[in-house]
Amino acid sequence: VNGTRMGGVLKFSPDGKLIVITTHLGHVFLLDAFNGQEIFSLRLPASQRNTDGGSAPGVVDVTFTPDSQNILVGCGDGRIHVFQCSNGHLICRLEGPHGMSCRALAFNPKFMMLASACKVTAFWLPAFEQLQI
């Protein structure tokens, strides 16, 4: 994180053990909250285009899942990227109604629901019937 221009988001995980930091240039850093050790870092493209033709920032908002196992990264192109906290592996990308920057992300742990917003708000629910157990 040293030497990287900031201007993004900083959030603690629900269990208090992790910190996620983003920058306006699309960097995402996951750190151990107790010793500051970097667990992983990645960079999402900062010059993605949104549907109105303008340039959009790479990372706009970030949140943790309630179990602190994953981070969800809202991007300037409207997509939401889901990464594992243990190793930074990309689990999936959520394509939603956000033609513009996904400006806000929040989890409701009681109902396992993700909400994302720009000019529209989307509610994401897990599709349990599609899980293979």
What is the rounded distance in angstroms from the CA atom of residue 122 to the CA atom of residue 40? 29
- Judge residue 39's burial from the number of C-beta atoms within 10 Å of its C-beta, 0-12 exposed, 13-18 middle, 19 or more buried: middle
The pLDDT profile of the chain, 133 residues, written as one tens digit per residue, is 555 455 578 999 999 999 999 887 788 999 999 999 999 999 886 544 444 444 455 677 899 999 999 999 888 777 888 999 999 999 988 887 666 677 788 988 888 888 888 778 888 887 766 555 5
Report the distance separating Cα 96 and Cα 78, nearest Å. Answer: 7
In angstroms, the CA 3 to CA 107 distance is 31
Q: Please give the angle made by the CA atoms of 61, 123 and 26, to the nearest 5 degrees.
A: 20
Handedness of CA 3, 30, 11, 104 (dihedral sign): positive
Alpha-carbon torsion 22, 93, 82, 104, what sign?
A: positive
Specify the pLDDT at position 119. 78
pLDDT reported for residue 93:
87
Question: How is residue 129 annotated by DSSP?
Answer: G
Q: What is the pLDDT of residue 130?
A: 59
For residue 13, the model assigns a pLDDT of 96
Q: What is the pLDDT of residue 132?
A: 55
State the pLDDT at residue 127. Answer: 73
Determine the pLDDT at residue 53: 46
Sequence-ordered strand ranges (E) for 3-112? 10-12, 18-22, 27-32, 38-43, 48-49, 55-56, 59-64, 70-75, 80-84, 90-94, 104-108
Model pTM? Answer: 0.79
